Amino acid sequence: MTLSSNLPQSERLIYYGSQRSLTPTPVHLPGTDCTISPEVPLAHYTSFRVGGPAQWYVAPRRWEEVLESFDWAKARGLPMTHLGAGSNLLVCDRGIPGLVISTRHLRHREFDAESGYITAGAGEPIARLAWQAAKRGWRGLEWAVGIPGTVGGSVVMNAGAHARCLADVLVNALVLLPDGTIEQLEAKDFDYRYRTSALQGSDRLVLQATFKLQPDSTRSQVMAATTQNLQQRKTSQPYHLPSCGSVFRNPQSNAAGWLIEQIGLKGYQIGGAQVAHRHANFILNCGGAKAVDIFNLIHYVQEQVERHWSLSLQPEVKLLGEF
């Protein structure tokens, strides 16, 4: 199969089975500082440290560059995949076709002391935002200090911890729609539920979000609560090896980690993937793991929990590509 012959030579790929006869070269978007790069290994951009290459990869630093990248892919009929910090993703070993747009460099934050609003770019780490708020004595994000994702990813998945979640503080978000327009959505538009939102599974891309905090709190108290939350996560969860954080959503009956631990799966391993000894709702890359190892371990845990508890564990981690 040959891609459209009216494309520049650097962008043409000819496929024979799984082999490519022509290696593409990077594409610089005119009028921007943005470069679209071919065959970029995504293992470098996911917290699991696994996954094949993106056919094309771009990491814009400005909204204009996001729109230019969007138009570039659309003109070529390429599918687009959105990537934040890669902290809640499992990318298949074969990689991702089309263009992967990373928002990790869309970083900015503004604090409005009068309203208590924080506006932050999609690529801003949510944990860093929590620390910045705590240092100002602003209450409302103490729970987010140990979460490894970005603002954009947190908005999409309704990230949460310590009985709090993003839906508690979100005011609105600017979202890039599939037709290339930007729309402001209010918190009610996201249909938030436990670890999910109306954005999951859609083609809409979060560009920035605004949160409502309480700026009149006592700085020492907010700092103390934030520090305690981080210490609790560090002592109860494994951070010494690559993982995606919690793999499964907690069912209503019991915590997923407890259910997995009770049937003796701590330490169970497939290839380089292992159920963590410290917290059974974590799967670790113990070195040399493939995405398929993690994928198979996820399914094995699900099967065992179903057999022992008659419960179906739902993954929090998002799967990208073909497994």
* 22 — pLDDT class (breaks 50, 70, 90): low
CA separation for the pair 220, 262 (Å, rounded): 39
CA separation for the pair 322, 158 (Å, rounded): 25
* 24 — pLDDT class (breaks 50, 70, 90): confident
Residue closest to 291 by CA, chosen among 323, 257, 254, 249: 323
**pLDDT surpassing 50 at residue 18:** no
β-pairing, 273-275 with 283-285?
antiparallel
- Mean pLDDT estimate for the chain: 91
Known catalytic residues?
195, 246, 316
Q: Which residue has the higher pLDDT, 249 or 9?
A: 249
- For residues 189-212, average pLDDT: 94
What are the start and end residues of each CATH 3.90.78.10 domain in the chain? 238-311
Structure tokens at 2: 């040959």
Give the CATH number of domain 109-235: 3.30.465.10
The pTM of this model reads 0.88
pLDDT digits (tens, 9 = 90+) for 131-153: 999 999 999 999 999 998 999 99
CA separation for the pair 264, 177 (Å, rounded): 45
pLDDT at 227: 96
What are the start and end residues of each CATH 3.30.43.10 domain in the chain? 9-102
Amino acid sitting at position 95: G
**Residue in this structure with the two tokens 């709090």, named with its chain if needed:** 164
What are the start and end residues of each CATH 3.30.465.10 domain in the chain? 109-235
Structure tokens at 143: 């729970």
Give the CATH number of domain 238-311: 3.90.78.10
CATH T-level topology, domain 9-102: 3.30.43
Instruction: Show Cβ contacts of residue 231 under 8 Å, excluding neighbours closer than 6 positions.
Output: none
- For residues 309-323, average pLDDT: 95
CA separation for the pair 116, 55 (Å, rounded): 42
Structure tokens at 126: 């949510």
- For residues 7-27, average pLDDT: 53
